[in-house]
Amino acid sequence: MDEQKQKNNKTEVTLNEKGLEILVAKFIPTSQYFERSFEMLQKQIDGLYAGQKDLKNDMDKRFGQVDKRFEQVDKRFEQIDKRFEQVDKRFEQIDRRFEQVDKRFDQINVKLDTIIERLDVKIDAGLHENRSITIRLFSFAMVFSAISMAGLLAKMTGLF
Q: Does 50 have pLDDT greater than 60?
A: yes
Cα separations (Å) of 68 from 30, 45, 56, 64? 57, 34, 18, 6
- pLDDT range class, residue 23, cuts 50, 70, 90: low
What is the separation of C-alpha 98 from the centre of its chain, rounded to a whole number of angstroms?
28
- Range 22-33 average pLDDT: 65
Q: Kindly report the average pLDDT of the chain as a whole number.
A: 83
Per-residue pLDDT for 114 more than 70?
A: yes
Q: How much is the pLDDT for 33?
A: 72
Percent of the chain with pLDDT over 90: 23
Report the SS3 class of residue 160.
coil
Q: Would the pLDDT of 1 be above 70?
A: no
For residues 151 and 160, the answer to whether their CB atoms sit within 8 Å is: yes
